Amino acid sequence: MEKILDRVLPGWRGSVPSERDKSVNRWYQHREAAQRADAALQRDAEIRERLGDDAPVLSAGTMHPWAWEGARGPWQSGHYREAVTAAARKVNAKTQDKAGRREVSETALFQSLFSKDAPKPGQPRLRLMSDDDGDTCRSVHRDAAASAEGCYAGIRNPNSHEEGLSELPEHEALEQLAAFSVLARWVDPAQVDR
């Protein structure tokens, strides 16, 4: 039941009184959270329909496994900034494993891997598509390297190194997590050119 509540009402443990409140019984928190979750599920479709916001919903569970597996633990406990950072570390580690390169990481790793230069001993390349020497192939690889740099320099670095940042709102963290998911979806199927 707690797993269902975590999905339907993230943060329910902090927003519903618990047994620590001596005026309630032992199961009050769970019963109250279940009633709130039931109401939320019943009203969700109606609210979206009547308010005109029937936009697609992005689920972290459908993101690339490298991103979501890294983020899952901290995410489920409401530590969204740490969850995004953990996803960044996981995508980096999986990319290092794929390329067999542990001596370089993050921005430098992706710049090297997505380079259109020929591979060198100990410096393989990732090929996202067949190299037909065309503009599209060059653009795809250049943009993948630039996206990786943006993910690590603009998302991972501030999340990891800036002191005193407030917790990310869940929707912003989800957007950041999606950026790492896209990067993982490029790296995972790419061919290693040695």
What are the residue boundaries of the structural domains of the chain, listed by start? 2-51, 60-193
157 pLDDT higher than 90: yes
What tokens appear for 37 in the block? 């979750």
The stretch 157-161 carries a mean pLDDT of 90
- Average the pLDDT over each of 23-27, 113-117, 123-127 and give the range with the smallest value: 23-27
- Cα-based angle 28, 171, 168 (whole degrees, multiple of 5): 85
54 pLDDT higher than 70: no
Q: Which candidate, 179, 175, 157, 154, places its Cα nearest to that of 91?
A: 179
d(CA 75, CA 57): 17
- Cα dist. 149→36, 58, 79, 134, 189 in Å? 42, 24, 24, 23, 20
The 3-state DSSP class for residue 37 equals helix
The stretch 173-186 carries a mean pLDDT of 97
More confident residue, 171 or 42: 171
Q: Would you state the pLDDT for residue 102?
A: 95
The stretch 81-86 carries a mean pLDDT of 97
* pLDDT band with cut points at 50, 70 and 90 for residue 119: very high
d(CA 78, CA 80): 6
